[in-house]
Amino acid sequence: MNLENYYPERVFHYFTEISKIPRCSGNEKAISDYLVDFAKKHNLFVYQDESNNILIRKKASEGYEKYESICLQGHMDMVCDKNKDVEFDFCNSPINIYVEDGYIKARGTTLGADNGISVAICLSILESDTIKHPALEILLTTDEEVSMSGAENFDVNKLESKILVNIDSEEYGSIYVSSAGCSAVSSSYVITSNKSDISNIYEVELTGLLGGHSGADIHENTANANNFLANLLFKLSYMKELKLISINGGSKNNTIPREASAKFVSEASFSEIKKALDLFKDSIAFRYVESEKLENIKLEVREIKNENYSYLSTKDTKDLLAYIVNHPTGVIRKSNEIEGLIQTSTNLGILETRELEDKKEFYFNSLVRSSKTEEQRYVVDYLLDYAKNNKAKGEILDFAAPWEYKEESKVREYFKKVFFEQNGYEPRILAIHAGLECGIFAEKNADLDIISIGPDIKNPHTPDEKMSLEAVKNTWEYLIKILEGYKID
């Protein structure tokens, strides 16, 4: 679709262009090279590091040379997720964009507005010969959505700016000044499996949950499909004998899983299994009556043929299901300092069954978030101890510190002032439970003055992701007014 019929035209031009380029986390070389080519075409300084991070510089407009330079920052990668019934190749196919009811959406996949809109805005500013501005640095990082390894690996000493504006928050009219730290923790639960002639093999599939961003949406109390399905089977295991073959759910640790499936063996009949699971589904779903669309939650049960499956014993099945059911996921603590802020949470985002020679490995990947470093470390340690005490092996995959609030900030006060002049009301000064790269940059250079802004993006990290056309327009005009009236020195 051609978005250039919508204002600001060049922003939507570049958003369309980068939506054609593969940029799933960990696969950013093509988009990184595109940015290098863009900079060279416009005769701008460009630096590409070994992690494919990009730093572009543009000299100050005439009359703005004496003011401090400013860095606009975002990330080039996106969460790549799709509905189960959609066939889509994120490595080769452009995102199928369309506009509906004032929002840009994608058909059956994530949109990539998080954080493609930042890239599009930055490129539009860089190409302009009419926008007045101080010396500009544009920093676009890789792998933000998985581990923030791009920001971790970037040499912050390359930055000449002491002011950094992150364009990766998702609510116009808000200036974010603090974000949660993130830690990915995995565990591996290995169990001996059995093989013999079996019958009465069943597959159960849970779909229709809302899911969401494991930081921005965790307070909504939407159901975690991994926990939900494990609860169903755990209840069933005390009513009918079960021997688990596999259980899988989720593909990203920063996304609340919407779907999960399992295979198991039972001597019970199909009708008995179906009746019990439907009953338990309704019982568990009622916990989410205020946060889920209960009519959309589907549980499909089917008999399947014997394909030489291996399976767990009934005892090991119960032990594993208990491990999943009791594995922490969701909100842990709310902040006592900032009203409405979730302070600490964890998300059991990935559950995967892996076949070994005569064993099965059940792999778990959780993302811990906290605005308090001490509490973040405590929850990480708890998950490691939880794994160890259940004869599983835990591992810390990465650790990013929180971005803590600063009492004094020149850039925050300037952005507040301009927002009020433009809109006639004060912006909200907020902290966010999601992780932003701001924390990494602040930890590396305590002298950086940092804020985060962005347009309205709903349901990020899911195929329901959508971005407001009006909010993009407002964010663009806000940034241009910021740059043209810039007098920070």
Q: Which residues are catalytic?
A: 77, 144
Give the number of other CB atoms < 10 A from CB of residue 283: 12
- Residue 11: both structure tokens together: 């922003």
- Name residue 201's beta-bridge partners: 265, 304
In whole angstroms, what is the distance from residue 471 CA to residue 8 CA? 11
What gap in Å lies between CA 287 and CA 39, rounded to an integer? 52
> Residue 315, exposed/middle/buried by CB under 10 A (0-12, 13-18, 19+)?
exposed
In terms of DSSP bridges, do strands 136-141 and 70-75 run parallel, antiparallel, or are they unpaired?
parallel
Tell me the three state secondary structure of residue 436: coil
Q: Which two tokens stand for residue 366?
A: 């959780």
36 closest CA partner among 10, 59, 11, 55: 55
Q: Say if residues 324 and 227 touch (Cβ distance below 8 Å).
A: yes
Sequence-distant (6+) residues with CB within 8 A of 288 are 221, 222, 223, 294
Q: Where are the beta strands (DSSP E) in 136-241?
A: 136-141, 163-166, 174-192, 201-207, 212-213
The closest alpha carbon to 120, from 13, 42, 21, belongs to 13
Q: Euclidean distance between the first and final Cα of the chain, in Å?
A: 43
Partners of 350 in the beta sheet? 365
* 301 beta partners: 204
* Among the listed residues 445, 452, 454, the one whose alpha carbon sits nearest the alpha carbon of residue 475: 454
